[in-house]
Chain A
Amino acid sequence: MIECEGLTRYYGTFAAVRDVNLNIPRGAICALTGPNGAGKSTIMRMLCTLLTPTLGRARIAGRDVVRDTIGVRRLIGYLPETFPLYDDMLVEKYLQFFAKVYGLDRDTAKARVEDFLKRLGLTEKRDAKIQTLSRGMRQRLGVAKSFLHDPEVVFLDEPASGLDPVARTELREFLKYQQHLGKTVVVSSHVLKELADFCSHLAIVQSGRLVEFGPIGGAEGVLAKYAGHSLSGRRYALRVLRDAARLEMFLTGIAGPETPANLVRRDLNFTFEFPGGEEAAAALLGKITAAGFLVAQFTPEEPDLEAVYRRAAGSGGSD
């Protein structure tokens, strides 16, 4: 659905985005993440036809973002990170205005505006002036505007910023529902926990380069990919019933290549990274119990998106 080949954008001599290759399938919700200034917004703006790529090309549903801008604009919705609104307009009128701009007929526009007002909790504010809305409400209105014309692909740049926890949950549910409708959504955020439970794909950008891209779950997914190996090993959680201080000394005193690293102790709980495989981990557990420690828990931690991000960004990409 979204294809990028060698997408590059220079601002003078500064390469904001370089050589990005992406292929996001239809119906995917792709998390685009990376540190501030990594180039996420630039990628989005190029895909939304607001910026012309310096090099490479991008296509949305087969339409070139440079050659067929109008065709692409019909297919996409975009919510920028900071989006100005017509402050003197009423909420409902604002949505109706954009429904007309996008060429929706009167009945469709009316039904769709009604639906989005209800779905995004804006019904009570329909007759309010936009300037009176809170940051969160404005964000909801922006989301409604982005989905109003029923686009095939939606780009959301930090959509959850300014939303309270309840609203964030609602937004998550809304995006899941959009995914169910077959929409392709690209969400940019650096709050990875927000993205973890509804995104199907992950793209990590650093210094303008795409350092990781792929589906999140499944045997070929990035989680599985990073579960088996990392820079300093897999992370384990260990809990003992007593003698935590002695165990800490014991663990730090283990010599050799398979030494627990990045040890963190919290009362009787420990977390550490261990470079060995499962057999080595079993041997380590044997050493600990043989030393007389009463182990209540010894489990490998499943890698989350933050871990994936940390490792992918740390290694500069898996390729």
Chain B
Amino acid sequence: MSTVQIILIAGLLLIIAYIYLRLRSAMVDAIVFILLGLVGTVLVIFPDFTTRIANTIGIGRGADMIFYFSILFFGFVCLKLYARVRKLEQQLTKIIRDIAIFQAEDARTNS
């Protein structure tokens, strides 16, 4: 086993442990992420396996296949995060709006 494999496996196992600890209350999410982490670990140990899968879907190298799917995955993550930011911004706006209206009405009542 090469050094890079040890580093990648350690990293993946740490991520799995972190996800398990954070998502114990959301088991479905936890299982999906843990499975992804385990698949990643297996692929790191047996790199030739990724190349075989890549070849069957028309990609030359396993590393390239991982790279392409990573781009798709992170694009999806960006969209999810953007949706979350929008939601947070809307919630913040509502608070700011309610305070503005409350203070204006309060000022008129007291004047």
Asked if A and B are interacting partners, one says no
Q: Which residues of A contact B (CB under 8 A)?
A: none
